Structure 1
Amino acid sequence: MDHRLLSDCYLIHPSEAKPGQNSQSSRIVRTMESLINGMSKIEKYGVGFILFCIALGIFFGGGSSKNIHHSEKTKSINQIEKAAEQGNAKAENELGEDYNLGGEGVPRSNAKANYWFMKAAAQGYAPGQDSLGDDYCFGWGEPKNYVKANYWFMKAAEQGNAGAEYNLGYDYQYGHGVPQNYSKANYWFMKAAAQGDIIAERQIGDAYVYGYGVPQNDLMALHWFAKLFKHDAWAKAEYHLGKIYYDDGQYNSLKYGTLQNYSKSDYWWKESAELGYARAENKMGHAYLYGKGVPQNTTQAIYWYAKSAAQGNEYAEYILGDIYFKGKGVPKNYAKADYWLKIAALHGPAKGLAEYLLGEAYYYGYGVPQDSMTALQLFRKSGVRGSNHMIKLLENG
């Protein structure tokens, strides 16, 4: 088990993660730690984003027991419990994990989890030591104590446990139970990364972006970010680096509010876009449409949005429709607007917005035959602000 930041959720989509990078379900709690320490961020990112983090944690490490029939699960728990009572360290740790998470056959109990982790750790079993460190870190079954947590993390890390290595790096980075020390943090992140821990790789990339214990170096950051992806790794790494500069460092609480640089974000997004990465193409469209780091240029915005939309990017599809529908920097063109809005209305997070504009098109006859019934159906499906007014207008018309 190990610490996980909110930023780790935002970076990697399950479809993009490297194979074999499974973690344990309790990492979900680590992912939320930075939010617990700063409630304003919960308000900023929203509950939906938090749920995405939880889903991501489950994808990487949890949910396997759900695929096991109840009777098989009960049998498995009984076997583990029997082995644990006979002093098998691996079984002791597994039983602790079962009590830690709860589920079929085992009620959740931090106290019982801690009991079995203690027994496994006392036998020198590294995963058990790492788990016991987690208990002290969060106060699960024992009072919270970072010093004791790091004692057990060190025991496990000295045996080469990647999760414990990461945990030590995290605690040195944030000064949990030890003096804050970026060099030591990077040392332990490097050890974990050498074993393929993707979040440690991410942290080293961050170190080079922000200059934590190393000279600031974007190219070295890209080297580490590129390790996180299966496909189009360099383009995705460049996209991510651009997002860090655009978002003002908001995904790293140590540097929040100090890093925003639109020129740098545009530079890396353009590098990524020129490799054909659709999300970066969409971002370049946004930069030109609103003049973020580049002179405002609707023609260039449309160029990049069109490239992104041609690859199926839902936001780009909707924005193109919106540009032509409202005449943002170009003459209104309802035929082009309706073309892109109809595509955007088929899928994606901008679906409702596209349906609303299409509803207006059919209500007023913009580029399509005027059709109140089709407009009403689209407004009902849309659910965006303003749709209720249009529905009442049509229903009472």
Structure 2
Amino acid sequence: MNKKTILALCLSAVFLTACSSKEQREFKSALKTAQTGDATAQMKVGDLYLSGTGTEQNIEQSVHWYKAAADQGTTDAFAWLMTQAYQGNPHADQVIRKMQQDGNIFLAHWVLDLAKKTHDPAAEYTVGWMYDTGKGLIQDKHQAQIWYEKAAKQKNVEAIKVLGNQHYFSKHPSSTPDKAAEYLSFAAEQGQDADAAMKMAHYYHYDIRDGEKARQWYAKAGALGDTDSQHMADTYETWKDTGPLQPNEPPPSSSTE
């Protein structure tokens, strides 16, 4: 390589460096450090991708780098991912759900600590779910019940639905159809839950035996996407006087001839 070529390459390198902005240089430096496994740098790269500073905005890459930090047990990274998931970031939501399903111990203890410190109802429900399933925490049905109840008292729809199902399937220590209806009606109306609405229809159909109320709940479940319930609402006239809704027959006569 002759001197002119070397000089041209050197000048080109200087020119390119001079043309890159401060933000671009900051991003490249942070990325280089992040690639060594530094959690702080990984979160910084995530922030830069999120804002599009020094690079093109890339939400998926932002989540990727925050996950890398979270995989090392960095609590701030878990907090960021959880907040992003709550705010509707689909990539963050997918990461959090995958971690929960995999029983990520770091995430489990971070959520448990959050629930204890802040009494956040979503965190309380998640702790209940983790104790219930043994995902991240040692399976403990008693502890699961305690945390579900805590979350339900703060109107967490998911926890209320769990308790409603426990009463509905007689898996709660004090199960009653009325208690199931109390919880499931809230889940159906406030949480727009088709399954809960369908169970309310069954409650009125088979337990209370009120055909019109059952039809109303079948219609609500149908509007929320349950096709079988919609069929029941549409065919009300054909079943309203049949099956469980038939009047009770009088007992047989006990008179003797």
- TM-score of the superposition, structure 1-length normalised? 0.41
Which consecutive unaligned segments of at least 5 residues does structure 2 have?
1-12, 53-58, 85-92, 240-257
- CA distance in 1 between counterparts of 2:237 and 2:44 reads 64
- CA distance in 2 between counterparts of 1:307 and 1:223 reads 25
> What code does the residue aligned with 1:396 have?
T
1:182 aligned to which of 35, 45, 60:
35
Question: 1:155, CA displacement in angstroms?
Answer: 6.7
Seq. identity, %: 24
- Aligned-residue RMSD, C-alpha: 4.4
Which residue of structure 2 aligns with residue 375 of structure 1? 214
> What code does the residue aligned with 1:222 have?
T
Q: Does 1:364 align with 2:203?
A: no
- CA distance in 2 between counterparts of 1:156 and 1:357 reads 67
More helix by share: 2
Which residue of structure 1 aligns with residue 8 of structure 2? none
> What code does the residue aligned with 2:145 have?
I
- CA distance in 2 between counterparts of 1:184 and 1:306 reads 40
Per the alignment, do residues 317 and 193 of structure 1 end up closer, same or farther by CA in structure 2, a change over 3 Å counting?
Answer: same
Q: Does 1:222 align with 2:83?
A: no
Per-residue deviation, residues 202-256 of structure 1 (Å, max 9, x unmatched): 555423333xxxxx3x1xx2234546769xxxxxxxx999755324xxxxxxxxx
- TM-score of the superposition, structure 2-length normalised? 0.60
Which residue of structure 2 aligns with residue 159 of structure 1? 21
Per the alignment, do residues 165 and 353 of structure 1 end up closer, same or farther by CA in structure 2, a change over 3 Å counting?
Answer: farther
Per the alignment, do residues 165 and 197 of structure 1 end up closer, same or farther by CA in structure 2, a change over 3 Å counting?
Answer: farther
Per the alignment, do residues 285 and 159 of structure 1 end up closer, same or farther by CA in structure 2, a change over 3 Å counting?
Answer: same
2:130 aligned to which of 267, 272, 287:
287
Per the alignment, do residues 293 and 343 of structure 1 end up closer, same or farther by CA in structure 2, a change over 3 Å counting?
Answer: same
Q: Which has the larger radius of gyration?
A: 2
Q: Does 1:355 align with 2:197?
A: yes
* 1:327 alignment partner, SS class: coil
Per-residue deviation, residues 241-287 of structure 1 (Å, max 9, x unmatched): 9755324xxxxxxxxxxxx3354443232222212121121122222
> What code does the residue aligned with 1:377 have?
Q
Q: Does 1:326 align with 2:169?
A: yes
Question: 1:300, CA displacement in angstroms?
Answer: 2.9
Per the alignment, do residues 317 and 167 of structure 1 end up closer, same or farther by CA in structure 2, a change over 3 Å counting?
Answer: farther
* 2:99 alignment partner, SS class: helix
Question: 1:168, CA displacement in angstroms?
Answer: 9.0
Which residue of structure 1 aligns with residue 68 of structure 2? 207
Question: 1:373, CA displacement in angstroms?
Answer: 0.7
Which consecutive unaligned segments of at least 5 residues does structure 1 have?
1-150, 174-180, 211-215, 231-238, 248-259
Question: 5 Å matches for 1:1-397?
Answer: 158-161=20-23, 182-183=35-36, 190=44, 193=47, 197=51, 204-210=65-71, 216=72, 218=73, 221-226=74-79, 243=97, 245-247=99-101, 260-275=102-117, 276-294=119-137, 296-328=139-171, 330-350=173-193, 352-365=194-207, 369-383=208-222, 384=226, 386-388=228-230, 390-391=232-233, 394-397=236-239
Per the alignment, do residues 189 and 222 of structure 1 end up closer, same or farther by CA in structure 2, a change over 3 Å counting?
Answer: closer
- CA distance in 2 between counterparts of 1:328 and 1:290 reads 15
